[in-house]
A and B are shown apart, each in its own frame.
Chain A
């Protein structure tokens, strides 16, 4: 692609990130600076940082791609990603901060006093962190390949090494400022082009998003196929395409039906359950459950709460995050919808995740405005990879340095960062064909089936025992991990098994809660003796200065 602004924009974002990292390094002196930013970040900064960290590649690129591909059903992703913060606010935020736990393993040990549970929680934090990191790196590789024409591994490795170096050198304090900056960059990078895109759509005479005969190509287009698919051409012919095939269409040609993609106007426009398919309804509820409850179990989200001064400010921070995240999620949907008009070729090539970065030039042409806006969007996308990866890496490295390496020093933290960044970097080179958002959705499902019940019951129910908690995490989380492994590695499934495995939360979350409660009741005697003191500590307001 001939856009000569994209590479400088990406370089600028990377340099600013590294620059703030180095500036933070000068400020960071103690281990506390490294791990919890000295617990001295104000709610506004902290909320912007949490928002910057949370809005990942899946949010920035993935949601628009999913909307382009599947339509209204996938709007549950942004709604759920935002609602996750409400669940966090209602059940977890203030008590968790008051507990004084830095990571989930800390919380387990503090509440239930079990070393074994702590080790189990550590393993889950690392698994979820890596499961979430791989799609970030994958998205980075894909974006660089799309906008700058570089080979896929280059982008993935570039992000992995920039982030690893930054986290290892600057720690939590530096990362907080980087991420707060990146939230505003991401919002701007989507909001400004959307104004121009909407004006262009007006100027084009408001073309219908769902013409009765399905989407058409607006300009002559050559599509290079990325994934194997079955096409149904307008004249009824069926054609198998494989990666590397080139298809040419003239302006005004209808887009062929692609297997597995909602090309039919009604499929795309209406909720799937409006038909007579139970599986669609089940998958929708499963997705809702995973995203609503998964946020509270994401390691990088929880670590952030400890940078708040106290429980009341943790609550306020969460509310601000909810507002920031909600404001952001109004935008990707518009990209997905406009992508239907201006970039329908992505439905054929399978590269739907690229719709956000391709749309400005596709709609506005490659004049100055189009190229500048494309560069802005690419910079925002890059900020998304950098900030989410930084947050995940900080939390995984924190857990590895305290629980696996067994030392809480700055040097240990740096060593842990290299380990925590290296593994997903290698993994990302081997998986490149997965839907970014789908993998992230699975990470949410695992978090919702393991840490969500542990936190909710641990904070609100005195009867939780270490054996019950362990059993619930092993059974519920294990089932969700099994579903992930089958999805990523296993054979293709169809019918109900495919639905149950692709969206496991609707059965794994209730399973985890049930097992945790039942086993705790059966082992009632093992309830920790100091549970009353812990409850006092979790729930007493700061004003009492207990």
Chain B
């Protein structure tokens, strides 16, 4: 490969592992425009910089949105029980509501949010990869 990759990562006491990858066949298939975008990323031109900023912003916005869902869904409970004590006395199938919400329902809720995050974050990354590899779109 002719392009120059800059050294990403400062040198520490434990040097980060350099991944050496030998690419023989599929280099010819990549069109030159995609190569140029990748080089722009690697060399941190303004275009590349803007691309990365966009990705970071999208991922952070996603993480913050989902934390807000959890903050309201779970974090609201103590407050809710405080302002509406009768809610704590409500029983469902013989068990008080706080016990059911905290002891049982909270875990599937957390897993569902995590699952949604993994899907959406991977989609963001896929969009970014597509953008870099097919910049004409």
Residues of A bordering B, CB below 8 Å? 72, 75-76, 78-79, 82-83, 85-87, 89-91, 94, 99-102, 106, 109-110, 113, 118, 269-271, 273-275, 281, 284-285, 288, 312, 315-316, 318-319, 322-323, 326-327, 329-330, 333, 402-403, 408, 460, 528, 530, 532-537, 539-541, 543-546
State the CA gap A87–B88 with chains docked (Å).
Answer: 27
Q: How far is the CB of B65 from chain A (nearest CB, A)?
A: 10
Would you mind naming 22 contact pairs between A and B with Cβ atoms under 8 Å apart?
A79-B74, A79-B107, A79-B110, A85-B110, A90-B63, A106-B12, A106-B14, A110-B9, A270-B81, A273-B79, A281-B82, A284-B78, A285-B75, A315-B122, A316-B118, A333-B103, A402-B13, A534-B8, A535-B52, A540-B55, A543-B125, A544-B38
On whether the beta carbons of A285 and B78 are closer than 8 Å, the reply is yes
Contact of B89 with A by CB under 8 A: yes
Give the chain A neighbours of B78 by CB distance below 8 A.
271, 273, 281, 284-285, 288
User: In the complex the two chains form, is B17's CB within 8 Å of A536's CB?
Assistant: no
Interface string of B79-110 (1 = CB under 8 A from A): 10110010011000000101100111011101
The residues in B between 1 and 37 inclusive whose CB is less than 8 angstroms from any CB of A are: 5-10, 12-14, 16-17, 21
CA distance A102 to B16 in the complex (A): 9
A96→B44 CA distance, assembly (Å)? 21
B41 touches A271 (CB 8 A): no
Q: Are A109 and B106 in contact (CB under 8 A)?
A: no
B112-137 CB contact bits vs A (8 Å, 1 = yes)?
Answer: 01110110011001101100110000
Is A330 in contact with B104, judged by CB distance below 8 angstroms?
A: yes
Check if B111 sits within 8 Å of A323, measured CB to CB: yes
Indicate which residue in B67, B85, B88, B107 contacts A82 across the interface (CB closer than 8 Å): B107
Give the interface centre of B21, B52, B78 by most chain A CB atoms within 10 Å.
Answer: B78
Q: A281-B79, A312-B125 are in contact. List 10 more A-B contacts (CB 8 A).
A: A72-B102, A79-B102, A106-B13, A109-B13, A271-B78, A322-B110, A327-B107, A532-B49, A532-B52, A545-B21
Seen from chain B, the residues whose Cβ lies within 8 Å of a Cβ on chain A are: 5-10, 12-14, 16-17, 21, 38, 41-42, 44, 48-49, 52-53, 55-56, 59-60, 63, 66-67, 70, 74-75, 78-79, 81-82, 85, 88-89, 96, 98-99, 102-104, 106-108, 110-111, 113-115, 117-118, 121-122, 125-126, 128-129, 132-133
A326 touches which of B44, B79, B96, B110 (Cβ 8 Å): B110
**B12 and A90 contacting across the interface, CB-CB below 8 Å:** no
Closest to B52 in A: A536
User: Which 9 residue pairs of A and B lie closest in terms of their CB atoms, listed nearest first?
Assistant: A326-B107, A273-B82, A100-B16, A541-B125, A75-B102, A274-B85, A90-B63, A271-B81, A109-B12
Contact of A543 among B104, B117, B121, B129 (CB under 8 A): B129
Q: Check if A100 sits within 8 Å of B38, measured CB to CB.
A: no
Q: Which of B13, B42, B74 contacts A546 (CB 8 A)?
A: B42
Chain A residue with the shortest CB-CB distance to B38:
A544
Q: Across the interface, which residues of A come within 8 angstroms of B59, CB to CB?
A: 539
Q: How far is A528 from B9 in the complex, measured between Cα atoms in Å?
A: 11
Measured CA separation A318–B114 after assembly (Å): 9
In the complex, the chain A residue whose C-beta lies closest to that of B132 is: A544
B59 to chain A, nearest CB (A): 7
Residues on A with C-beta less than 8 A from B8 are 530, 533-534, 536-537, 546
Q: CA–CA, A85 to B126, complex, Å?
A: 24
Tell me how far the C-beta of B9 lies from the nearest C-beta in chain A, rounded to whole angstroms. Answer: 6
With A91-B63, A540-B55 already in contact, the answer to whether A86 and B114 are too (CB < 8 A) is yes
Q: In the bound complex, what is the Cα–Cα distance between A500 and B99 (angstroms)? A: 26
Residue contact A110 to B115, C-beta cutoff 8 Å: no
A101 to B126, CA, bound (A): 24
Which residues of B have CB within 8 Å of A273? 78-79, 81-82
Provide the bound-state CA to CA distance between A102 and B17, in Å: 11
A38, B98: Cα distance in complex, Å: 45
Which residues does chain B contribute within 8 Å of A99, judged by CB atoms?
16
**Given A315-B121, A535-B52, A271:B12 Cβ within 8 A:** no
- CB pair A539 B55 closer than 8 Å: yes
> Which A residues lie within 8 Å of B63 (CB)?
90-91
